[in-house]
Homo-oligomer: A and B are copies of this chain.
Amino acid sequence: MGVVVSLDGDRKKPSLDALTSLVEDDLKAVNEMIVQRMHSPVEMIPQLASHLIAAGGKRLRPMLTLASAKMCGYQGGRRHVALAACVEFIHTATLLHDDVVDESDLRRGLASANAVFGNKASVLVGDFLFSRSFELMVEDGSLEVLGILSHASSVIAEGEVLQLITTNDTETGETAYLDVIRAKTAQLFAAACRIGAVVAARPRVEEEALETYGMNLGITFQLIDDVLDYSAEQAELGKTVGDDFSEGKITLPVILAFRRGDEEERRFWRRTLEKLEQEDGDLERAIELMVRHEALADTVERARHYGAIARDSLGIFADGPVKGAFDDLIDFCIERAH
């Protein structure tokens, strides 16, 4: 990738630290609530759920709810904690369902929850977490929040189906791809932010500003995720790369490389991603083509564009530590690519 970030004293590597320390206590309460509310007399449910939830993860989405509530001056209550747990439950349910292996897919390596517990258990525990999330929302009692998260959930499902359709189709264009990631990823980021404003009972303009922030942050996040899956540096760090490639997922780096490539290159993409006929060295060739056509660097540039929109959406809020942390988060999402 062409963009190099200097790591000298003037500019430190962006991190999640500011955000994490701002919401630290609340996040601890969210984690406790998650463990408490994923309980079921059917022991396999907390076992399987904790396989994913307790395994950690950044808890990015619940942190968005907590930080949004904080930026909107929410005080005195625990609603933001319960609703942040709802957001994480929905996210975990979609992860469990996203990992379901299709009949035609059995050749590739199984995701771990599937491998340990089986496809069907993963689906059913996802359903449980999803339902439990709605039970928690009902306890909270806000029809507005229920409306936001039920709508987000159906949009996520639409996005996942859309992704299923575009997988293995190298004709997929950038617009269709953006529709997919808006729905499958960014919608929950947006909802997570918005409900922070809702619990604080802030004017609609603040709800919408935070929703815009979340939506564009989510797009930024997913674009960089898609870059990282082809990153040679990530491979050197021992992280997994090439999952999207082996599944034939059509992400923006592929779309740009395909469109900028010649006919011989397009035959390569069709063979590897449509027919899934892959051999040793194909992933390296894919990365090489992406670098040659600046497909990775330009995907990062696209991410910067959405990051800029996210940043500007915060303009209506007063400067302060929370706004600063939201700003840092955009940089963090982008700089992961370096």
Residues of A near any B CB (own CB < 8 A): 40-42, 44-45, 93-94, 97, 100-106, 110, 114, 118-121, 123-125, 127-128, 130-132, 134-135, 137-138, 141, 143, 146-147, 150-151, 153-154, 156-158, 160-162, 164-165
Whether A125 and B42, one on each chain, are in contact in the complex, defined by CB atoms closer than 8 angstroms, is no
Out of B104, B138, B156, which one reaches A150, CB within 8 Å? Answer: B138
Q: A42-B161, A128-B161 are in contact. Are A123 and B138 (CB under 8 A)?
A: no
The answer for the CA separation of A40 and B138 in the assembled complex, in Å, is: 26
Q: A119-B101, A123-B123 are in contact. Are A157 and B131 (CB under 8 A)?
A: yes
CB-CB under 8 A from A150, the residues of chain B are 131, 134-135, 137-138
Nearest-CB distance from A237 to chain B (Å)?
30
CB-CB under 8 A from A110, the residues of chain B are 103
Whether A118 and B103, one on each chain, are in contact in the complex, defined by CB atoms closer than 8 angstroms, is yes
CB-CB under 8 A from A164, the residues of chain B are 44, 118, 120-121, 124
A-B contact sample (10 more), CB < 8 A, given A94-B127, A100-B119, A128-B157:
A101-B103, A103-B118, A104-B118, A124-B164, A128-B158, A132-B154, A138-B143, A138-B150, A143-B143, A146-B146
The answer for the CA separation of A119 and B164 in the assembled complex, in Å, is: 11
Out of B138, B143, B154, which one reaches A128, CB within 8 Å? Answer: B154
Ranked 10 nearest A-B pairs via Cβ: A131-B154, A131-B153, A128-B157, A134-B150, A127-B157, A138-B147, A102-B120, A135-B150, A124-B160, A102-B118
